[in-house]
């Protein structure tokens, strides 16, 4: 089984190398072969020399490219274009500042032996409770979910070839949401998306995400993006109807929550969905 690990990076050379180094100490079962596809999204190919030097002592093969067109969507689409040229069975996306659990590949191997894996994702653990607040949480070991995020996901390469699907560039200015729409589309086309708590990764905490204002802004963006995703999945009129039903649900949920962070999240998501149809095209690019 060959797995191609895709990592998009932007001005995080220290975090990127730390992420890659971790793979040197992770146990990889004998029937699994891994290679890396790294896409640098800086205009001056900032990681070129750093990765070139690191490759000399790295025990895995690395494909390294530069995508000058700024934005995470363009970087991830560059990955999808290059994936088609590389021989592999599965394609994995991780963030450049994450640390993969030491049992990740052992657990993935077991999951493939026990299940037919088309798309599978798992938890991303944050030290910052504000960031962890937005992560999906489930009680069961393995369940079917509606979508996955590119911070920790595996997809069969054959699906990417057969569907010829890419991330929506209209969401590039938000710096988020393109993965939710991408995998929601695959789910709608009949592919199964699983979530396993055994496929864990840990992400570095970011100082600018430690305050309530960040929660407000992120929740509002998620509301606006939610409107666009529903529109794309269900069409203009039905999507608009679903959007405003969810807007009302989020508002009502915010009234009955005791925890202030959750209340702030839902009221701002409701507000984002309320204004989504009017402000989506007006919002400028958000940097991650």
Looking at the structure, tell me whether residues 200 and 263 fall in a common domain. no
Helix (H) or strand (E) holding 5: strand 2-9
Query: 185 in a domain, yes or no?
Result: yes
C-alpha to C-alpha distance for 26 and 36, rounded to whole angstroms: 15
Rg of the chain in Å (alpha carbons):
19
Domain that holds residue 49: 2-208
Using the 3D structure, point to which of 190, 208, 226 is the last residue of a domain.
208
CA 129 centroid distance within chain: 18
3-state secondary structure of 91: strand
- Per-residue pLDDT tens listing for the chain (288 residues): 999 999 999 999 999 999 999 999 999 999 999 999 999 999 999 999 999 999 999 999 999 999 999 999 999 999 999 999 999 999 999 999 999 999 999 999 999 999 999 999 999 887 665 555 567 778 889 999 999 999 999 999 999 999 999 999 999 999 899 999 999 999 999 999 999 999 999 987 666 666 788 889 999 999 999 999 999 999 999 999 999 999 999 999 999 876 777 888 999 999 999 999 999 998 875 554
Residues 6+ apart with CB under 8 A from 56: none
Structure token pair of residue 107: 């657990």
Looking up residue 66, the CATH number of its domain turns out to be: 3.90.550.10
Could you give the number of structural domains in the chain? 2
Query: 287 in a domain, yes or no?
Result: no
Structure token pair of residue 149: 């995020």
pTM for the full model?
Answer: 0.93
3-state secondary structure of 259: coil
């Amino acid at each position: 089984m060959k797995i191609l690990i895709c990592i998009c990076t932007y001005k995080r050379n220290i975090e990127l190398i730390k992420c890659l180094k971790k793979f040197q100490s992770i146990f990889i079962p004998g029937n699994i072969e891994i290679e890396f596809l790294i896409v640098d999204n800086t205009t001056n190919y900032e990681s070129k020399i750093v990765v070139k030097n690191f490759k000399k002592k790295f025990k895995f093969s690395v494909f390294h490219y530069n995508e000058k067109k700024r934005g995470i969507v363009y970087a991830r689409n560059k990955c999808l274009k290059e994936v088609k040229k590389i021989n592999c069975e599965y394609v994995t996306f991780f963030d450049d500042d994450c640390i993969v659990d030491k049992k990740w590949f052992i657990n993935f191997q077991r999951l493939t032996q026990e299940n037919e894996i088309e798309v599978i994702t798992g938890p991303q653990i944050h030290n910052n409770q504000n960031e962890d607040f937005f992560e999906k949480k489930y009680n069961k070991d393995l369940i079917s979910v509606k979508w996955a995020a590119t911070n920790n996901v595996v997809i069969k390469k054959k699906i990417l070839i057969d569907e010829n699907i890419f991330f929506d560039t209209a969401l590039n200015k938000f710096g988020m949401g393109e993965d939710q729409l991408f995998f929601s589309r695959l789910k709608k086309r009949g592919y199964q998306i699983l979530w396993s708590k055994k496929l864990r990764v840990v992400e570095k905490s970011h100082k600018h995400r430690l305050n309530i204002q960040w929660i407000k802004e992120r929740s509002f963006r998620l509301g606006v993006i939610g409107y666009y995703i529903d529109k794309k999945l269900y069409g203009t009129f039905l999507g608009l109807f679903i959007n405003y039903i969810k807007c009302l649900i989020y508002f009502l949920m915010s009234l009955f929550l005791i925890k202030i962070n959750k209340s702030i999240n839902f009221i701002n998501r409701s507000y984002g969905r309320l204004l989504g149809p009017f402000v989506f095209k007006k919002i400028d690019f958000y940097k991650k």
